[in-house]
Amino acid sequence: MPELPEVETVRRGLLPALEGAVITDVVVRRRDMRRPVPEDFEKRVEGQRVLSLSRRSKYILVLLESGEQIIIHLGMSGRIRIFEGNPEEPDKHDHVEFITDSRKCIRYGDPRRFGFVDLVKVGEESIYPPLVKLGPEPLDEAFNGTMLFERFKGKTTSMKAALMDQRIIAGLGNIYVNEALYRSAILPTKKAGQLSLKKTKILAEVIKDVLLEAIEAGGSSLKDHRQTDGELGYFQHSFQVYGREGEPCKLCENNHKSSRVKRIVQQGRSTFYCSSCQR
């Protein structure tokens, strides 16, 4: 499912159920995810109070009183749902479950198992492989066009690949890269190292705008993404190019040029864009 806005939506959904709660029981039904659930996961989590929930890129971090953090990644198809009291039977892809002292049941499911649930000690984020090379958070105060321009310097790869590269900027995925490039009028095939500072500054602001709007909308629901209460996000209705191959470009329409949205494949992923508006 998830890029930054979907993960942030899930984090916010978890807050009322988890923050301050004690995790009384943990059930692990499958351990063989992208990274295996640690053998002693249950022992290290049961009885722990949750102090806070944070997010780094597409990872959710659940801080425990013990000084360890549960790290949750949703991969492509992961989801988390919260039930009250005795929930319905788990389905075959519900792999990890947390029960709290206020009788909440938090269920992590991931059909493709590209995601994972792991534990990391506070302070060891800097040596924890999935987090080590992550670039800046686009919604941080410090993130801006000048910073992004520096990170693009010397890159011969495409804008599309550069924005998908989590080491350059963290949290974006295929949807939001497509949408941000369209709104910035930047061609996805343009070489990242050749983008002007002026355009990079526009891009940085557009990225913030798109992510904030998407979070406001509860993320984008295509197949798997649900908010933790089961509700759909609705940012997919705001897509301008993603999944719109062949439809008229909304900017062109106004200029009476009416180009259509094109689809190409870059790095094995679909790119949607308007060859007239994006340069």
Three-state SS sequence of 130-167: HHHCCCCCCCCCCCCHHHHHHHHCCCCCEHHHHHHCCC
75 binds DNA (CB under 7 A): yes
For the bound state, the minimum distance from the C-beta of residue 21 to DNA, rounded and expressed in Å, comes to: 26
Residue 176 near residue 211, CB atoms below 8 Å: yes
49 binds DNA (CB under 7 A): no
Q: What is the DSSP letter of 260?
A: B
What is the rounded distance in angstroms from the CA atom of residue 273 to the CA atom of residue 181? 8
Kindly list the distances between the CA atom of residue 216 and the CA atoms of 6, 210, 234, 258, in Å, as whole numbers in the listed order. Answer: 10, 10, 9, 30
**Catalytic pick among 11, 58, 151, 183:** 58
Is 56 catalytic? The answer is no
200 binds DNA (CB under 7 A): no
What is the rounded distance in angstroms from the CA atom of residue 215 to the CA atom of residue 209? 10
22 binds DNA (CB under 7 A): no
Judged by DSSP in three states, 206 sits in: helix
92 binds DNA (CB under 7 A): yes
69 binds DNA (CB under 7 A): no
For the bound state, the minimum distance from the C-beta of residue 191 to DNA, rounded and expressed in Å, comes to: 8
Q: Contacting DNA (CB under 7 A), which of 21, 105, 219, 261?
A: 219
Q: Contacting DNA (CB under 7 A), which of 112, 121, 198, 257?
A: 112
The DSSP-derived string for 179-234 is HHHHHTT--TTSBGGG--HHHHHHHHHHHHHHHHHHHHTT---SSS---TTSPPP-
Label residue 47 left, alpha or beta by phi (over 0 means left) and psi (-120 to 50 means alpha): left
For the bound state, the minimum distance from the C-beta of residue 174 to DNA, rounded and expressed in Å, comes to: 4
For the bound state, the minimum distance from the C-beta of residue 247 to DNA, rounded and expressed in Å, comes to: 15
Is 155 catalytic? The answer is no
Find where tokens 């940012």 sit.
Answer: 235
118 binds DNA (CB under 7 A): no
For the bound state, the minimum distance from the C-beta of residue 105 to DNA, rounded and expressed in Å, comes to: 22
218 binds DNA (CB under 7 A): no
What is the rounded distance in angstroms from the CA atom of residue 217 to the CA atom of residue 140? 20
Find where tokens 């295509």 sit.
Answer: 222
For the bound state, the minimum distance from the C-beta of residue 24 to DNA, rounded and expressed in Å, comes to: 30
Q: Contacting DNA (CB under 7 A), which of 114, 144, 201, 205?
A: 114
The amino acid present at 197, given as its one-letter code, is L
Kindly list the distances between the CA atom of residue 108 and the CA atoms of 105, 139, 186, 240, in Å, as whole numbers in the listed order. Answer: 10, 26, 37, 31
Choose the binding region for DNA from 18-26, 68-76, 119-127, 205-213 (rule: CB under 7 A).
Answer: 68-76
Site for DNA in 235-264 (CB under 7 A): none
135 binds DNA (CB under 7 A): no
Is 257 catalytic? The answer is no
The amino acid present at 108, given as its one-letter code, is Y
57 binds DNA (CB under 7 A): yes
Is 5 catalytic? The answer is no
For the annotated catalytic residues, the residue numbers are 2-3, 58, 269
Residues of this chain that bind DNA (CB under 7 A): 1-3, 6, 34, 57-58, 73, 75-77, 92-93, 111-114, 129-130, 133, 154-158, 161, 164, 166, 172-175, 193, 219-225, 233, 267-270
